[in-house]
Amino acid sequence: MSGGTPKMLPSSGQKSLQEMCHPLSADQPVLPLSPDGGGDTDNTKDLNMPNGNAVDTSSPASSSSLLNRLQLDDDLDGETHDLFVTVDDPKKHVSTMETYITYRVSTKTTRTEFDLPEYSVRRRYQDFDWLRSKLEDSQPTHLIPPLPEKFVMKGVVDRFSEEFVETRRKALDKFLKRVADHPVLSFNEHFTVFLSAKDLNKRQGLALLSKMGESVKYVTGGYKLRARPVEFAAMGDYLEVFTQKLGTIDRIAQRIIKEQSEYLVELREYGPVYSSWASSEEALQEPLDGVAGCVANHCSALDELTEDMSEDFLPVLREYILYIESMKNVLKKRDQVQAEYEAKLEAVAFREDKKTPVPTDVERCQDRVECFNADLKADWDRWQNNKRQDFRQLLTGMADKNIQYYEKCLAAWDRKQKRTEYTFVD
């Protein structure tokens, strides 16, 4: 979705519960990790439960020369999209009551759910937050992409600085692209309203929870899960380890950036000393000016490297740290539904009249567990695929930027050395 010419793709339909594979049934095949399909919201009387399957996405190509040489084996050549969203053109608004930033959200689509093929609206951060909240309420079984953190420490980060606004713009753009790429979330009515309504506040009345959303939201804490199924327990264990790894890398990376910034300050004071010396000693003027020039080049290269780490490397780490929290929340909601089902099933098992059919509410609860399992597996597979591509792009890009940094420094000192040798030979 991030690049290329839009291609028409018919809106995908949704499988009914009867057609779905039962993930917990022994006489049915286990749901594959990369199923095909997707769909709209199913509004039946028994179960208002949107469900869809994973469709792999491919990350945009990097301008990095090293990354361009890397062929990502996860890309799907035949993938097409019918919804393209971008976030750009941040603008500052100042009123007597508040100061805030809005972003232009541009949409191009061939979907019939939209009245027009193109839209352009302006949204502020709280509008994005509204959308994510509605997606969580109406699609409780799906992993909702994270937003950048809303609050910043006053005096530490200027939330109206160009750097901060651009970093947030990139994060908001990625959030919408991930939602637009999802086979279920992208068909959510709140997402359509967010992209198309000029005045979002007037349309918030559409934000109604689905019956499934209500059932998940109001599950009481009286149900206790016996044990997670092995595959979901493995997901939880993986998230714990991944959190620790990302947290450690994030802390060390911030220390490196801090030390590089301090080193940069010293370098900027270091170079002019040689320039001042050269002006007072004619016999050494050329080599001293050469050293000053090399230090200046070193400063420029280090400044670019530090900026890349701050604006490109750290935001990806933090997005995935927030992503992990979102995934943990979905796992907890799945556990609640399973615990409710186990409790009701146990009550049926201990009833006196064994000939009475299983109550309808137990069957509906079982359907919710099946839907949760299917959706969570599909979103887990999608998340893993996106993570694999994002980190390949991130790490190969970081390697390329470090190579460029050392090449610039080496080239400057190499030119200086050759000029110095030529001068002394003469």
What is the mean predicted confidence (pLDDT) over 284-306?
93
Own/partner pairs for 231-240, CB < 8 Å, 24+ apart?
A: 231/377, 232/331, 232/334, 232/335, 232/373, 232/376, 235/327, 235/331, 235/380, 236/328, 236/331, 239/324, 239/327, 239/328, 239/331
In percent, the amount of the chain with pLDDT more than 70 equals 71
More confidently predicted of 163 and 382: 382
Q: Give residue 242's pLDDT.
A: 96
For 264-288, what is the mean pLDDT? 92
* CA separation for the pair 76, 78 (Å, rounded): 6
Among positive and negative, which fits the CA dihedral 143, 147, 148, 153? Answer: negative
Average pLDDT (244-263) is: 95
Q: Which of 9-18, 156-165, 328-337 has the lowest mean pLDDT?
A: 9-18
- The percent of residues in the chain predicted with pLDDT above 90, rounded, is 55
pLDDT in tens, 367-394: 999 999 999 999 999 999 999 999 999 9
pLDDT at 355: 60
pLDDT at 345: 83
Q: Is the pTM of this model over 0.85?
A: no
Q: How confident is the model at residue 137 (pLDDT cuts 50, 70, 90)?
A: very high
Query: Does the pLDDT at position 170 exceed 60?
Result: yes
Mean pLDDT of 119-133: 95
Residue 295 has pLDDT above 80, yes or no: yes
Which of 211 and 91 is assigned the larger pLDDT? 91
Check whether 18 has a pLDDT greater than 90: no
